[in-house]
Amino acid sequence: MTHSIVLVVGADEHTSRFCSEAVAEGSLGKSEVVPSTGEALQRIRRGDIDIVLATLAPGDGAVLELIKQGQRQENSPEFILFDSDCNSAAALAALQLGARQVLALPCHPQLLQHAVRVCLTQRSVLRENSRLHERVALYHRSRSLGSELEISKLLTVGLQTVLSEVDSDRGLAFVVSRDEVGYCQANLDWEYSQTEQLARCLADRLKTDNGNCRLGPDDFMLDAPLPDDLRSGWMLPLKAGDDISGAIVVFNRIGSDLHVQKFEENLELLGEHIEQGFRNASLYQGTRDLIYTDDLTGLFNHRYLKIAIEHELHRAERYGLDFSLAFIDLDLFKNVNDTHGHMAGSMLLKDVGEVLKQCVREADLLFRYGGDEFTALLVETDYDGAKIVSERIRRRLENHKFSINPQLSCKITATVGHATYPLHAKSLVELIELADRAMYQGKVKRNTICGASELRHP
């Protein structure tokens, strides 16, 4: 009870002193005195008031209005009133509005202390019960995270749960394997490159921090522009062996700081279950697929491209096979983001991935190389075959109607560059460079295909 606050309202100096002394002598917390019901309501709205002591006066409805307004506030205080006649119309009206008790004036200090102590005890019990119910509900919500075996789903649901707990709307989750950020996602429509750079920056903290940590502006030092008003954050590190780690990070809402102190117990409980789920999912699923898969489109990412080409190079050398590489770049994709937002752009990119799957064989591999650029590794495909596939991709994308929300669709085209081993290149680096150059030469015209044989040499 030592942290309780009793608000004394509008009483004369003698009654104010009587109330303050009774609270102090009874070790019932501290008292604050305000001269009017208007100031009392302002103080109640600021929070932390447990009990209001006020005197009823005949014909004065101000105290009754204070009770009405006070009861509407979150965690509303209890009202103990004084009246020369406990059976007056005002006293009965106050009790009907929810006042806890009306004490007769003059009042003995011990009677006031008893009334205040009973109120505080009951409030404490109710608060503890409410807290216990919240903890039980949180336990049941978080327990399911501990048994989730799909890492991407675990991080998505875990991030949303932590955001809800700290009353924020901005955050990201990422996974690191052998110092490479292989998976990252933000809950808002931040640009992927921005999200990935922020994840890389925060990944360094995982090497030095063993527990939950708070983040400040110095932790967000990026070359790229930051999301708006990023000033504070909180990070939950995740570990699954020596080589694999990750984190769930929440940031402040725009225009305010992130305050996690009052949520620390709940965050600790959440963190235990999320980390347990992360360890289990890493053992069950492994992170190979996660590290080498683009989380937006489900295609392979650029990290796996070099591994796949190296594998195909060895196979082609051994058996005397051709294979080709096609680079696909969407034309004027930036206009989609600028006009409809990054969320619409992300939906379109995901749809592009589905269209590309319809254009190649099961043996071929598709990659999201980065941003709006895709790559196709066409196994056992010579130059003429690569030209046919590239034109199929260009035509399918040109004719497809992309739905970017339930009410809106749009059209987009692509430029495709392709190169073939061993016709054009004998090494991984050279093959990538030539396919990329062919694509950029085609970008001069847009919505076309260009093979390495057509390259204009400087």
Is the same domain home to 157 and 49?
A: no
Same domain, 93 and 217: no
Q: Which pLDDT score, from 0 to 100, does residue 178 have?
A: 67
Kindly state whether residues 327 and 387 are assigned to the same domain: yes
The whole domain housing 76 covers 5-126
Give φ, ψ of 81 to 5 degrees. -115, 155
Identify whether residues 319 and 253 lie together within a single domain: no
Question: How sure is the predictor about 135, in pLDDT bands with cuts at 50, 70 and 90?
Answer: low
- 214 and 342 fall within a common domain: no
pLDDT 10s digits, 38-79: 999 999 999 889 999 999 887 778 999 999 999 888 889 999
| 257, 285, 313 - which closes a domain | 285
Q: Tokens representing 296?
A: 């937006």
The more confident residue out of 380 and 405 is 380
Say whether both 318 and 281 belong to one domain. no
User: Residues 83-102: what's their mean pLDDT?
Assistant: 89
Q: Are residues 238 and 317 in the same domain?
A: no
Quick: pLDDT tens for 423-439: 999 999 999 999 999 99
How far is 312 from 218, CA to CA, in rounded Å?
44
pLDDT in tens, 93-115: 999 998 999 999 889 999 999 99
CA-to-CA dists, residue 423 to 276, 307, 379, angstroms: 51, 21, 14
**Is the entire prediction scored with pTM above 0.95?**
no
Residues 277 and 307 in one domain: no
Strands 51-55, 373-379: pairing is unpaired
**Are 160 and 85 part of one and the same domain?**
no
226 with 118, same domain? no
pLDDT score of 432:
95
| pLDDT at site 275 | 87
Measured CA to CA, the distance from residue 21 to residue 27 in angstroms comes to 10
In a 3-state reduction of DSSP, which class is residue 293? strand
**What integer is the mean pLDDT of 354-362?**
95
- 292 part of a folded domain: no
Which residue, among 58, 24, 124, has the nearest Cα to 8 in the 3D structure? 24
Q: What is the mean pLDDT of the chain?
A: 87
Same domain, 276 and 349: no
CATH number of the domain residue 362 falls in: 3.30.70.270
Residues 279 and 308 grouped into a single domain: no
Q: What's 10's domain CATH number?
A: 3.40.50.2300
